Amino acid sequence: MKTRICIIGAGPAGLMLGHLLRSEGVDCVVLERAGPDYVLGRIRAGVLENVTVDIMARLGLDARLRAEGLVHDGFNLAYGERLIRIDIAALTGKHVVVYGQTELTRDLMEAREARGLEVVYEAADVALHDVGSDAPYVTYAKDGRMHRIDCRFIVGCDGFHGPSRKAVAAVAGQAFEKVYPFGWLGILADVPPCNHELIYANHERGFALASMRSETRSRYYVDVPVTEKVEDWPDERIWDELAIRLGPEAAAHIVRGPSIEKSIAPLRSFVFAPMRHGSLLLCGDAAHIVPPTGAKGLNLAASDVLYAAEALLAFFKRGDGDAIIGYSDKALARVWKAERFSWSLTRLMHRFPEDGPFERAMQVAELDYIASSRAAQTAIAENYVGLPV
Ligand code: APR
Ligand code: PHB
């Protein structure tokens, strides 16, 4: 088979890119290792910046997001008994939209047929070939035989563990990485949220986050050592821990209920540079990971995809290859700033096992400073709503 662009991975990044290309009449094929149910089974952060909402609007796939997404004008940082409200609307004139990543992926998946976006699910052994040349190709196995797709560009949207990044020779790229000594234990439950806005809490027993998917579905997290097992955390233990860490005001409003999902996600900061190698472009988790503290993962994938789509459209519609050459620098400039913000918010809101009294005093001083400074709050707010694309 021949196509202009072969996209590896049908997560949010691959599907957004595929739809953006198709909406401009550029042909592409998306290869996905898993089946549609697996892709929809993953629960991830659900705070959308403008860039993500705008892509869904440009695709005309934002009807449900507009109807069901919750517009949030602020969020809260809790420490001890104190609560700092970051009024993002007043400080930046913007807002974020709380809408589950699973729902956004569903909207993109359901529009495949109507928009003529070809996605091959259950494509096994996907391998990239000749990515340094102008005629790369991809092979995969399906229905008991091997297939080959010849194309002009390959876009790796296959997440952190996919084959695309690994197709770049070790000498051609550099990985920057920080692994954190804790993970987030998340619980999803059909109970009303304890607060109408998110609360990120730094408590002496550890971090906690109160989030939500809707007025009737809550998402909470506590941080735990990476060695911890989900089986050691019956629901009641998580609810007890949340009630302590989120502080008395929030605790009074927590409604407990049985978990409908429970998992531990490790925290990692990771960047692979450059994000283009010859005819291979990397987007989303294939190129970078942020700890979830700033809710930047999906939004960074969205800005990568926007830049990649612009570059590919310039190439195929106007014969202009400059934006392809500039793709990596443009994407990385935004990626590094989001990495910085996610890392600094993680540093501020978690208790690190190696921290001594000095590091703890620095956290308290910084939180006190943020509580009293509009400038500090503005810096947090403008990063949280998303830096310009
Ligand atoms: N072949 C084909 N597809 C693959 C392969 C492979 N060998 N390996 C992985 N994939 C698919 C995965 O099954 C998944 O559907 O690539 C997709 C990658 O999706 P995500 O991991 O969701 O990554 P991305 O689309 O970049 O999303 C970025 O969404 O999932 C979150 O944490 C992520 O918030 C971040 C954002
Ligand atoms: C979530 O709702 O899952 C969520 C929200 C905000 C974050 C991380 C996760 O920073």
The per-residue DSSP string of 74-91 comes to: -EEEEETTEEEEE-HHHH
Index of the ligand 2 atom closest to the CA of residue 295? 10
Q: How far is the CA of 114 from the centre of ligand 1 (A)?
A: 23
* Within a domain: 52: no
Output b/e per residue, 126-150; b: 16+ Cβ within 10 A.
Answer: bebebbeeeebbbebeeeeeeeebe
- Residue 140 bears catalytic tag: no
Q: How far is the CA of 350 from the centre of ligand 2 (A)?
A: 15
Region of 27 on the Ramachandran plot (φ > 0 left; ψ -120 to 50 alpha; else beta): beta
Angle (nearest 5°) at CA 209 between 204 and 182: 60
Q: How far is the CA of 300 from the centre of ligand 2 (A)?
A: 14
Collect all residues with Cβ–Cβ distance below 8 Å to 61 and sequence separation of at least 6.
19, 107, 108, 111
Domain carrying residue 29: 5-45+100-177+268-346
* Within a domain: 216: no
Strand segments, DSSP code E, in 161-282 are 174-189, 199-203, 206-212, 218-225, 259-273, 276-277, 280-282
Residue having the nearest C-alpha atom to atom 3 of ligand 2: 45
* Structural domains counted in the chain: 1
- Residue 253 bears catalytic tag: no
* Within a domain: 333: yes
Q: Model-level pTM greater than 0.85?
A: yes
pLDDT for residue 111: 98
Q: What is the CATH number of the domain that holds 132?
A: 3.50.50.60
* Within a domain: 359: no
* Within a domain: 235: no
* Within a domain: 56: no
Chain CA centroid to CA 6, Å? 22
Q: Please list the ranges in the chain whose pLDDT falls under 50.
A: none
State how far the Cα of 38 lies from the Cα of 49, in Å rounded to an integer.
Answer: 25
Is 257:189 a contact under the CB 8 Å cutoff? yes
* Within a domain: 260: no
Is 84:367 a contact under the CB 8 Å cutoff? yes
* Within a domain: 239: no
pLDDT for residue 231: 97
Residue of 203, 220, 292, 350 marked active site: 292
Residue having the nearest C-alpha atom to atom 1 of ligand 2: 45
H or E stretch at 98: strand 96-98
